[in-house]
Structure 1
Amino acid sequence: MSTTPDALDALDAPAPPASEPLRRIRARYTERTVTVYQAYAPALGLPAARDGRFPAAWKRERMTWIKPSFLWMMYRCGWGEKADQETVLAVEIDRDGFDWALRQACLSHYDPDEHPDRGAWQRELKGSPARVQWDPERDLRLRPLSYRSLQLGLSGEASRRYADEWTVAIRDVTPLAQEIRARVRSGETAAAAALLPEERPYPAPEGTPGLGRVS
């Protein structure tokens, strides 16, 4: 039986706390908004942060992936050091829009516990404006943990509404990412952890794909 890279990573991951489910949305949020993270080249990311909205150059017809987990975003963009991901953005969006996308979403992969057959999943995927993917959460050294956090893919109507209706504020958090990375590299893990955005379990709407299973 073959083993996926994520499964191999999980073999070295510490066991989750007893209270930590396999899948959970963890996010920084208020009564009205939730913060998600993305990373872009400076030519797009800096104008977005300056103006607090995505510029016309942001391609609304393409799928975009948003991440409520700061450390998963750091893993994805290499602390803002990967090409075309040098500007890390914290995008504060309307919770009603975020919840709408979760209710409209389909899992990004076929799961027999969620779908009657592969054809049903493919039909749902084709008609859905959002996709849910559960990836291993990361620690301060970006090592995989044994529990998973959300990536949410938005396309079509969801992508357009994200850019033009749901976005409340956009901040450039690249300096924060750089400071946390520097403290981690110098061994100041407690100081690095103290700088992380506070993320709490998010009350996902009923029907969010993948949350029906706990193991």
Structure 2
Amino acid sequence: MVKETEDSKVPYRQIRALYDDQTITVYQAYSASIAVQAVKEQKLNASPEFLLGRMTWIKPSWNWMMYRSGYSTKDIKQSHILAIKMTHQNFQRLLSQALVVTGTSLTASERAKPVRVQWDPERTPSLGVLPYRSIQIGISQALSQTWVEQWIESIEDVTEKALGLMEAVKDDPQVPLEVLIAKGLVPDEKVYEVPEDLRETLKMI
């Protein structure tokens, strides 16, 4: 049975995301030199500064991306927030190859997995900690080129939205979520239904 938090009916581990019938949106933060070229050419590796050999982490949660990047102000390497669309099929292909990382040492077979998953505390728009978890998905060198060149449908720079959210919660840290959604500063994320076999892989049950 899915573990639920004590003060919420939200399951402890659950994927929430912006998606439509064809695609799901995930987020990453990059330097200007990588992001500008990526949007212009619709390819993450358009800039030679993008390194395929590094583990790259994608996040379906907008608020967690805001926390990780400080609304894009944390440092120059995270100064641009990109919204990246993938088809559901390819997103689930990623998840099917994942190993959930819990901080313990890995066996050789576990290290061979090309995708890593971490479940970290979800955040509010003002970056407060919530009692349930948000998924972060790490793509290793073994799969990075396929993901970059074949599995990305579109790339959009949404940095201005991040900065707008920062200003909104600075003015009123208790501003209701529905107000931020209506203003276009927070995506209207919904529960992303995961097939049963992937729920087992992701330790959601």
SS at 1:29 equivalent: coil
8 Å CA contact 1:75–1:138 kept in 2: the answer is yes
In structure 1, the residue matched to 2:171 is: 186
RMSD: 1.9
- Say which of 25, 36, 45 aligns to 1:35: 25
- Say which of 70, 88, 94 aligns to 1:101: 94
Amino acid corresponding to residue 78 of structure 2 in structure 1: Q
Amino acid corresponding to residue 180 of structure 2 in structure 1: A
Structure 1 segments (4+ residues) deviating >4 Å: none
In structure 2, the residue matched to 1:17 is: 8
| TM-score, structure 1 as length reference | 0.82
Residues 15 and 47 of structure 1, relative CA distance in 2, 3 Å threshold: farther
8 Å CA contact 2:33–2:47 kept in 1: the answer is no
SS at 1:145 equivalent: strand
Residues 94 and 16 of structure 1, relative CA distance in 2, 3 Å threshold: farther
Note the alpha carbon deviations across 1:156-181, whole angstroms, 9 max, x for none.
33211211001000000000111111
8 Å CA contact 1:125–1:131 kept in 2: the answer is no
In structure 2, the residue matched to 1:4 is: none
8 Å CA contact 2:37–2:47 kept in 1: the answer is no
Amino acid corresponding to residue 25 of structure 1 in structure 2: I
How many Å apart are 1:85 and its aligned residue?
A: 0.4
SS at 2:99 equivalent: strand
8 Å CA contact 1:66–1:152 kept in 2: the answer is yes
CA distance in 1, matches of 2:40, 2:65: 21
Note the alpha carbon deviations across 1:107-153, whole angstroms, 9 max, x for none.
12267xxxxxx6xx523321101011000000121011000010000
The aligned length equals 190
| TM-score, structure 2 as length reference | 0.86
8 Å CA contact 2:54–2:141 kept in 1: the answer is yes
CA distance in 1, matches of 2:82, 2:26: 8
Percent same amino acid among aligned pairs? Answer: 35
Unaligned runs of 5+ residues in structure 1 are 1-13, 112-117
Unaligned runs of 5+ residues in structure 2 are none
Amino acid corresponding to residue 22 of structure 1 in structure 2: Y
Note the alpha carbon deviations across 1:22-51, whole angstroms, 9 max, x for none.
000111112221100000110101111222
Residues 142 and 15 of structure 1, relative CA distance in 2, 3 Å threshold: farther
